[in-house]
Amino acid sequence: MKSFDAIVIGGGQAGPFLAARMVEKGMKVALIERKFLGGTCVNAGCMPTKTLVASARAAYVARNSAVYGVNIPGEIAIDMKVVRARAETVTMNARNGLIGWFAGMDGMTVIYGHARFDDPKTVSVNGETLTAPRIFLNVGARPVIPDLPGINDIDYLTSTSIIHLDTLPRHLAVIGGSYIGLEFAQMYRRFGAEVSVIEHGPKLASREDEDISDAIADVLRSEGIDIHTGVSDIAFARSSDGITVATDSARIDASHVLIATGRKPNTDDLGLDAAGVITDKHGYITVDDTLATNVEGIWALGDCNGHGAFTHTSYNDFEIAAANLLDGADRKLSSRILAYALYIDPPLGRVGMTEKQARASGRKIMISTRPMSRVGRANERGETKGFMKVIADAETKKILGAAILGIEGDEVIHGIIDAMNAGTTYPALQWSVPIHPTVSELIPTVLGDLKPV
């Protein structure tokens, strides 16, 4: 049996950085990863997909360049092998950077293999037994594959496998109208594929307010994406030239099918029962406000604890654990204000409550909206789709939430994120003097238009 001061299972966006901090403190740490360092973000999420998004935007801008007085003769061609290679390079650079970083750390032992608990202080991997008083789980999540008629008879894609495509689909059917599915839908439409989105619910991006969901659908339809919502029945069958996707309202002749119906935690094969670690009905590990599980000495970080399925929330889990365990702080998970983005183009930046949540809270609220068509930067760029919305508490004057669907919305939202985390009231932010011409300069204007509802 090999003994360590700590064992980290999973090499995503929380565990490796926590391991590095512990090594800096002179601890002996084992980092166990069953596949690739970097987790979903580096290998199958943010980095490769946003690289693909950038290639898709380049194609879109080139096709529409004449609007700006730039004439490009001939058809805009897409070399999918180059597109894929570029994304793969970004991934490999990040992954190899982590490998090199850890290789230079005394006290860090990186082990590739599948770890399972033997008891609360012991895990087995590759036939070896390791023990430590502290064990941290950062095992991430994977795509959910629904049990739909005919699904096992076709070669479907997931968000992990689609990034390795080096040919252009003739017609991509996307099953699922949430964030991952929508990003790939627009991306492949811009590459030149026909695209259909099939969503069981009544609207796309169901977490969002109805006006945001409607605006997202308008953006995608404007680029020729076929959207089907409220679909109750879906079945698949092989056809002579691809895959037939049959729903209760349509029949789609697809060449490729992307299953984007959500993700589930990688907790079902860790031997959690042997350690006594409790999970909820969906498999997420139950944690307290400090990310500790019900078993002393075991913590769960990142996607597997169900408190955020984003790189930045996973990294924040590391920050909370490191501050509390190594720096004597008292940071809490409940203090986090959730923010995220949808990386269609234009992007959606979101923070805090939706309007629906704010209304349901019983607070007296104020709301302000402004179309991007009234934003100078958007008009200068010729990108006026979308709108801004801010929700505030009428009594405390605190901002409760915001949505910015529009050009640079994923960047502009940070002004509001910072204000909410600092506890700044909207009147104070309203008197800032922003730079012109920017999208962010409209934040004080939107705040000035807040009206009671």
Say yes or no: 426 and 442 in one domain. yes
Say which CATH number the domain at 416 has: 3.30.390.30
Cβ atoms of 364 and 452 closer than 8 Å: yes
Say yes or no: 303 and 189 in one domain. no
Say yes or no: 133 and 7 in one domain. yes
Strands 298-300 and 134-137: parallel
Say yes or no: 131 and 280 in one domain. yes
> Which of 228, 282, 307, 436 is the catalytic position?
436
Q: What is the pLDDT of residues 349-374, one digit of tens each?
A: 999 999 999 999 999 999 999 999 99
pLDDT (0 to 100) of residue 295: 98
pLDDT (0 to 100) of residue 309: 87
- List of E strands, 64-150: 108-112, 116-119, 122-125, 128-131, 134-137, 141-143
User: What is the domain range of residue 343?
Assistant: 339-452
Per-10-residue mean pLDDT of the chain, 453 residues long, equals 97 95 98 96 96 98 96 95 98 96 95 98 98 98 97 97 97 98 98 98 97 98 98 95 94 98 97 98 98 98 95 97 98 97 98 98 97 96 97 98 98 97 95 94 96 96
Say what the alpha-carbon torsion angle 93, 97, 100, 102 is, to the nearest 10 degrees: -140
Say yes or no: 199 and 276 in one domain. no
Q: Residue 386 corresponds to which amino acid?
A: G
Largest CA-CA distance found in the chain, in angstroms, rounded? 70
Say yes or no: 135 and 7 in one domain. yes
Say yes or no: 6 and 135 in one domain. yes
Evaluate whether residue 92 is within a structural domain.
yes
Residue 436 designated active-site: yes
- Residue where one domain finishes, among candidates 309, 335, 361: 335
Say which CATH number the domain at 330 has: 3.50.50.60
pLDDT (0 to 100) of residue 66: 96
Evaluate whether residue 50 is within a structural domain.
yes
Say yes or no: 279 and 200 in one domain. no
Beta-carbon count within 10 A of 318 CB: 24
Q: What is the pLDDT of residues 198-221, one digit of tens each?
A: 999 999 999 999 999 999 999 999
Task: Please state the domain count of the chain.
Answer: 3
Evaluate whether residue 115 is within a structural domain.
yes
Say what the alpha-carbon torsion angle 101, 104, 108, 114 is, to the nearest 10 degrees: 50
- Residue where one domain finishes, among candidates 229, 261, 293: 261
Say yes or no: 438 and 418 in one domain. yes
Say yes or no: 92 and 238 in one domain. no
CA-to-CA distance for 89 and 287, rounded, in angstroms?
A: 36
Q: Is the dihedral of CA 265, 267, 269, 273 positive or negative?
A: negative
Global pTM value: 0.96
Say yes or no: 48 and 118 in one domain. yes
- Integer angstrom CA distances of residue 313 from 10, 241, 306, 319: 16, 42, 10, 10
Evaluate whether residue 146 is within a structural domain.
no
Residues contacting residue 204 through CB under 8 Å, at least 6 positions apart: 177, 178, 182, 197, 213, 216, 217, 220, 227, 229
pLDDT (0 to 100) of residue 326: 97
Say yes or no: 254 and 269 in one domain. no
Helix extents (H) in 6-137: 15-24, 39-43, 46-63, 80-103
- Residue where one domain finishes, among candidates 320, 335, 350: 335
